Amino acid sequence: MNRLPESVNLQFNQLFAAIGQAGDDLKMATAEASIAGDFALVSANIEHYKQLQALEMEIKNCLNNFGNSSSLQTADKPFHKRSRRRSRKAGTRMRVRIAGRVIEQGTIAETFVETLKVFGLDKVAKLNKVVTSIPLMGRQPTNGYQAQRQVNGWYITTHVNKITATTVLEEIGQALNMPVKVEFADW
């Protein structure tokens, strides 16, 4: 298993949202204390905010270590078990060339997300793109839709295939004046 179960992911997403809200509350309290001239409270709130950030980073590091250690354990194994009855062909890898960089991850969805990061998540979000009738990016997850990944506070819809991924990335590249070249290679 190289991914956390969806229910665990949901709980972590809720935890990160709660930490973000607590951080926002501390920022507001700091601003109010600053206006009131209570600099001792300002210092205390800043320290609490730093502790919240450290907690969030610690949790994210633990999650990354879980993902890395489980992927290291399964690195020698193929991604898919082959069945004699399986009629599908083997997986395809996507390679994207953008801004002098080559992006290639293990799956199309992972490459898609990494490419969106290179474009800039805030810039892409302003384009209001839709994938499979679901917003490409949003600050809140779409209820009941599991093909979304949380990246830097954004929920990105990752339910894409070769055609959809190519079309969306090329449209985004054109809108942002960043030339994109998408290639596919079979394993």
pLDDT in tens, 137-165: 888 887 776 788 888 888 898 888 888 88
- Which residues contact residue 165 at a Cβ distance below 8 angstroms, ignoring those fewer than 6 apart? 94, 108, 111, 112, 182
pLDDT beyond 50 at 167? yes
Higher pLDDT, 4 or 141: 141
Task: Give residue 57's pLDDT band: very low, low, confident or very high (50, 70, 90).
Answer: confident
- Give the pLDDT confidence score for residue 85 in this predicted structure: 59
pLDDT in tens, 85-108: 555 555 678 899 988 889 888 888
- In the block, which residue shows the tokens 């009629």? 87
Beta bridge partners of 183: 95
pLDDT beyond 50 at 1? no
- Give the pLDDT confidence score for residue 97 in this predicted structure: 92
Higher pLDDT, 143 or 134: 134
Q: Domain ranges in the chain?
A: 6-73, 92-186
Higher pLDDT, 75 or 8: 8
What distance in Å separates the CA atoms of residue 175 and residue 21, rounded to the nearest whole number?
33
Long-range pairs for 99-108: beta carbons < 8 A, 24 or more residues apart: 99/178, 106/79, 107/79, 108/160, 108/161, 108/162, 108/165
Which regions of the chain does DSSP assign to beta strands (E)? 92-98, 101-104, 130-131, 134-135, 137-138, 148-151, 154-157, 180-186
